[in-house]
Structure 1
Amino acid sequence: MHACSSARINLNFDELLERFITASERQRRTLRKSVEGQVAEVATRIPALLDRFDPRQDDWIPGWLIQLAVNEDPEAIIRLQKSYPEGWLDTPSDAGLDYTTLQIALQLQQFEEADRLTNRALRELAGSAAIQRGYVYYSEVVYIISLDLITLDRLWSVYSLGRFGFTAQRKLLQACNGRWEQLWPRIGWKTNGVWTRYPSAFDWSLEAPEGHMPMINQLRGIRLMDALLKHPAFKEHLGTTN
């Protein structure tokens, strides 16, 4: 009786997961609560569940399942690291950078640390002057390799339900008709005209406003972020001309 009951639970979970994977974006968000209700099953079956997904894509479901598993069972991260020493998501780099530490921080939802690592990676990608200076100047963005910028964006998207990353910020800016003063409060960087204090007042969680992370240095004004969001990498990746 127990074996039959267990098999039925697994079947129900598999059916639910299949529905979740094939659902529309709106349906997925509705089904999330049902998947969360079987978090113990997710934790037990990670990393085997990841075999259903392509690590070269940017679907947020596997990233979220990893976060669920790790939150439920801290030892799940150890099993994942044994199966995927460099992280589950494929993170190619033409600059020779290793994004393993960043991926682990995102899996653990250590978003403040992930933000710090992302800004460090951007400095390394921009060149020695940016490293020595401690920040990227807007005119250096053109030298950032497209593949690495897309890799950083995919990492943030996959481990945030598709809510964070440069692509998310880019789409929100377009929704604001390119008006930066409308974008800042929408992504939680300004409240009542006052800049959100970094990092203490930022919301380092999945509940943060869409586009809240990664943070591009406020002190640099809009030029740096504008250059990043207009980088040719995103036009190529999204297949757009804007």
Structure 2
Amino acid sequence: MVKNWALAIGINQYDFLQPLKYAKRDAKLIQEFFRNEAGFDRVFWFSDESPDLGSEPTRPYRANLLRLLQQLFAKPFMEAGDNFWFFFSGYGMVDANQDYLMPSDGDPEDIENTAISISDLTECLNRCGADNIVLILDACRRQHKNSGEGIGRHTQTIARQTGVISILSCSPDEYSYEIDALQKGVFTHALLEGLGTQGQCATVERLNQYLGFRVPQLAYHYQKARQTPHIIAEPIKSRLILAPKHATKHDISKLQIDAVQAEVSQNLELAEQLWIRVNAAASSSDIDAVKEIERIAQLRVEACATQKQLTPQIPSLNGSPLHENRKYALHSNLDGRSCNQSLGLGRIPTAKHQQKSTLARPDIAINDLNSERGIDYKPLHDLLAAGEWKQADRETLAVMLKIAGREKQGWLNIEAINQFPETDLYTIDQLWLKFSNGRFGFSVQKQIWESVGGQTDADYETWCKFCDRVGWRVNQNWLFYSDLSFDTDAPKGHFPAAATVNLLTVWRGWVVGLFSCLVGFSALALRLGKSH
């Protein structure tokens, strides 16, 4: 079960700075939202009037905040798939090009020794064990116009270095406004809308779009200067689902695509984390996601076991093997990552290896209809010869499922695709090529896939370009199988299609079904060789 913890800090009263009006209330509203609406497991609240945590005071003085951070983050308490949120509303200042958050007793004349640096804060937050940290700062406020640039530039750099999702209320040269009519800050008002029922922003990507529109709109409405929020997040984290109850099938499909890509790219740790999030986003336990989590976990165990077997055991002075000697530990010398981070599906070659591959293409005459699994291709041959494209496409799916032993499931997974016999793939491809005069076939799809930049690590946009070219997507709308064009005027590469497009209806309407098969079919097409 995914855990969500948060720490919300809001400061109105400062010892050395002018008071703010609504920072305390902003933090309180965020705390209530996380606890009541979002259902977070635990939310810490530090403000001018927050209640003590047992015997520990929560007034946001520097010593109190550091004590909490040191005690709470002394060792990991969260796991992969979990989220930790940090919200701060108050003053932020820059000293020696470093960003700092000002506690109640922060002194602008001695920022380094009385404030909390963003560098130290993010380092501390990353120790919690969660693979997703969300840092939300409404702190770009200055006492007067000559105070210099606000925080943001250094924070953005740290975010890119550490992978922490950072949400900033405005640009460094702008001001974060408080509005009397709203009784809160402009940014916090828009943030609560975006995460709540009005914006229904389930992902960082959608929240970024909402805030980018709503915050400037509110500032303009209340006759303030422009205020432009910024979100810094890695591409894959921008698609993470942070608010599962607002997640759409499209949100989930993007996450599944990322999980498939991570596995293909041999990053099993990331793939497992993403499938955990897919399962968490489902209204009830997602059986498919659970199976993927279990399968990938087993692959990681097997991968590490394989690495241990490959690691030479050099005897030490006392006769015991030196497994941890970096000179001989192969998984340590590769790129500094552990075997859990760097190993994955060994069957899928990297793009570099694929370019060098010289897999022999089976020399099969079209009338031989060869099969490594004893498949009778005469029915497919006759349907294609008669121009019965729909029936031939269905027959193609049927024989492929039979070869893979997945007739009951009705679809091909990556493992089945990677183990698909080359001889049968070539026979199917040659039949389609011959009777369509070179318009249809896996090798035709392969050429189109490569022409739009398709590789094993291609992204969602590349997949969309491919589907636009072969006619599986029209005007940005995904076609169901019944909508395809079953005649010779269909777009080039339109068939075979049942093994992919049919998944839109078979596998709960999620586009990831197409993408995962495309990754596999792309790998299979490469095995046909460079020319026909």
Q: How high is the TM-score relative to the length of structure 2?
A: 0.27
Cα distance, 1:237 vs structure 2 = 3.1
CA distance in 2, matches of 1:135, 1:109: 25
1:191 corresponds, among 458, 474, 488, to 474
CA distance in 2, matches of 1:188, 1:181: 10
Count of residue correspondences = 151
1:172 corresponds, among 440, 448, 454, to 448
CA distance change for structure 1 residues 113 and 212 in 2, over 3 Å: closer, same or farther? same
Cα distance, 1:235 vs structure 2 = 3.5
- Mapped contact 1:125–1:143 kept (Cα < 8 A): no
CA distance in 1, matches of 2:465, 2:435: 26
CA distance change for structure 1 residues 148 and 56 in 2, over 3 Å: closer, same or farther? closer
Counterpart residue identity of residue 148, structure 1: D
**Equivalent residue number for residue 495 of structure 2:** 213
CA distance in 2, matches of 1:170, 1:90: 24
**Equivalent residue number for residue 3 of structure 1:** none
132-141 vs 174-183, which moves further:
132-141
Cα distance, 1:95 vs structure 2 = 0.6
Counterpart residue identity of residue 217, structure 1: T
Q: Which has the larger radius of gyration?
A: 2
CA distance change for structure 1 residues 57 and 162 in 2, over 3 Å: closer, same or farther? farther
CA distance in 2, matches of 1:114, 1:206: 13
**Equivalent residue number for residue 156 of structure 1:** 432
SS in 2 for 1:121: helix
The answer to whether the aligner puts 1:147 opposite 2:423 as a matched pair is: yes
- Mapped contact 2:418–2:523 kept (Cα < 8 A): no
Offset from partner CA, 1:188-241 (integer Å, 9 cap, x none): 100111112212x2111111100000103233131112112212xx4343248x
Gaps of 5+ in 2: 1-362, 455-461, 505-512
Percent identity of paired positions between Structure 1 and Structure 2: 27
**Equivalent residue number for residue 204 of structure 1:** 486
CA distance in 1, matches of 2:527, 2:465: 26
CA distance in 1, matches of 2:410, 2:378: 22
**Equivalent residue number for residue 97 of structure 1:** 375
Cα distance, 1:57 vs structure 2 = 4.5
Cα distance, 1:126 vs structure 2 = 1.0
2:515 corresponds, among 216, 222, 242, to 222
The aligned runs of 1:127-142 (5 Å cut-off) are 127=405, 130-142=406-418
- Mapped contact 1:187–1:211 kept (Cα < 8 A): yes
Counterpart residue identity of residue 206, structure 1: T
Cα distance, 1:167 vs structure 2 = 0.3
SS in 2 for 1:238: coil
2:465 corresponds, among 170, 179, 182, to 182
- Mapped contact 1:167–1:229 kept (Cα < 8 A): no
1:110 corresponds, among 388, 393, 399, to 388
Offset from partner CA, 1:151-191 (integer Å, 9 cap, x none): 01111111111110100000001111112111111111001
**Equivalent residue number for residue 238 of structure 1:** 529
CA distance in 2, matches of 1:209, 1:133: 29
Offset from partner CA, 1:82-134 (integer Å, 9 cap, x none): xxxxxxx321011100000011000110000000000011101112xx11112
CA distance in 1, matches of 2:481, 2:529: 30
SS in 2 for 1:131: coil
CA distance change for structure 1 residues 208 and 92 in 2, over 3 Å: closer, same or farther? same
- Mapped contact 2:443–2:528 kept (Cα < 8 A): no
Structure (1/2) with the larger helix percentage: 1
SS in 1 for 2:481: coil
CA distance change for structure 1 residues 132 and 173 in 2, over 3 Å: closer, same or farther? same
SS in 2 for 1:237: coil
SS in 2 for 1:186: helix
**Equivalent residue number for residue 41 of structure 2:** none
**Equivalent residue number for residue 119 of structure 1:** 397
CA distance in 1, matches of 2:445, 2:526: 14
CA distance change for structure 1 residues 162 and 57 in 2, over 3 Å: closer, same or farther? farther
Cα distance, 1:56 vs structure 2 = 4.4
Structure (1/2) with the larger strand percentage: 2
CA distance in 2, matches of 1:57, 1:193: 40
> RCO (CA 8 Å, sep 6+): is it higher in 1 or 2?
1
